[in-house]
Amino acid sequence: MSNLSVCFRDLACEWIERAPMSEQTTFKIGGPADGLLIVHDAASLQTAQQRLREEGVRAMLIGCGSNLLVADEGLRSVVIRFDSGHAAIRQIDKTVLRVDAGVPLAKLSRFAQQQGLSGLEFACGIPGSTGGAVYMNAGAYGGEMVGVLCDAEVLFPSGERRTLAAEELALSYRHSNLMQTAGFVLSATVALTPGDPEIIHRTMSELLTARREKQPLEYPSAGSFFKRPEGHFAGKLIDDCGLRGYRVGDAQISEKHAGFVINRGAATCEQIKQLARDVRTRVFEQFGVSLEPEVRLLGTSWDE
């Protein structure tokens, strides 16, 4: 992989050989990727993707790493992410924003509030990027990206770059068809509604307070670990099974919120996977409900 650094010398980017993925994810878990490429803009990403394709090297794009669990052995691929410091928000008209994929959702929601635009309050506490939010239709407190997204500019593995309407992304609960097409989100357009900045700010403050009070923010995690089963809440099912606080090594069901799996300091990917398997088995045996992880697993599978 050392020769790859030569491929990127003329690009606005930073190349890190054998980059620990534990430093790139909010779970603080994961072995090294073959390389980490931090790009400043969509043009650099497109050029880098083309060069990696010519070299026969697998590449994947991540956002803030807030919904990822990476294998302890690491990844045999190059991981790419945007430098959030170079990501921009552009106001197209009074209610429409064009947002680079690397913009953190918290920054985007604050910008919207300052402009007197409502619709992104739900996103103020989500520790992810705009691109990642489109990729998985992120949501919280009753709001989702599908409710504000107009379109997204996407770079496909073939090198084709297209702007897709929200309907073409087939957004559903924590899902888009980008998970099948492996497209990279470059930017997104969101349409919001006029609102009172003070009221929007108050709503955001209330949501952030609720998040601090109810979620285990003092520990590394990937947010809500399981998807919400139809007609149920994952956290309540887990709690009703008596699994609040259940541990496998340093992997633990949070005692503060049973819907969260936390890393108490030295948890491994294998410990998280074993804990998830134990929880899914217990919940299915007791309630007949199949829990599906919301967290995206890289470099391994739930069955290994």
The model's pLDDT over 40-72, given as tens digits with 9 standing for 90+, comes to 999 999 999 999 998 899 999 999 999 999 999
Identity of the residue numbered 183: G
CA distances from 170 to 135, 158, 165, 175 (A): 10, 20, 10, 8
CATH 3.30.43.10 maps onto the chain at 4-84
Which one of the listed residues 121, 144, 153, 294 is annotated catalytic? 294
Number of CB atoms found within 10 A of residue 189's CB:
19
Which one of the listed residues 44, 109, 129, 174 is annotated catalytic? 174
> What tokens does 232 get?
């149920």
Of 90, 116, 120, give the one whose Cα is nearest residue 106: 120
Q: What's the mean pLDDT in 257-277?
A: 97
Whether 294 is a known active-site residue: answer: yes
Whether 76 is a known active-site residue: answer: no
Residue 175, judged by CB atoms within 10 A of its CB (0-12, 13-18, 19+), counts as: middle
Q: Cα(20)–Cα(32) distance, rounded to whole angstroms?
A: 4
- Residue 33 contacts residue 98 (beta carbons within 8 Å): no
Q: Cα(37)–Cα(173) distance, rounded to whole angstroms?
A: 30
CATH 3.90.78.10 maps onto the chain at 218-298
| Partners of 298 in the β-ladder | 70
Which one of the listed residues 153, 224, 254, 280 is annotated catalytic? 224
3-state secondary structure of 275: helix
> What tokens does 50 get?
């083309």
- Whole-number pLDDT of residue 6: 74
Q: What is the pLDDT of residues 103-151, one digit of tens each?
A: 999 999 999 999 999 999 999 999 999 999 999 999 999 999 999 999 9
Among 3-17, 50-64, 80-94, where is mean pLDDT lowest?
3-17
> What tokens does 194 get?
């006029």
Binned at pLDDT 50, 70 and 90, residue 248 comes out as very high
Of 203, 204, 195, give the one whose Cα is nearest residue 94: 195
> What tokens does 203 get?
């709503």
CATH assignment of 4-84, among 3.90.78.10, 3.30.43.10, 3.30.300.30, 3.90.550.10: 3.30.43.10
CA distances from 221 to 136, 140, 187, 254, 279 (A): 17, 16, 26, 10, 16
> Phi first, then psi: what are they for 280, rounded to 5°?
-60, -40
Whether 174 is a known active-site residue: answer: yes
User: CATH top-level class for 87-199?
Assistant: alpha beta
For the structural domain made of 218-298, what CATH number should be given? 3.90.78.10
Q: What is the pLDDT of residues 90-115, one digit of tens each?
A: 999 999 999 999 999 999 999 999 99
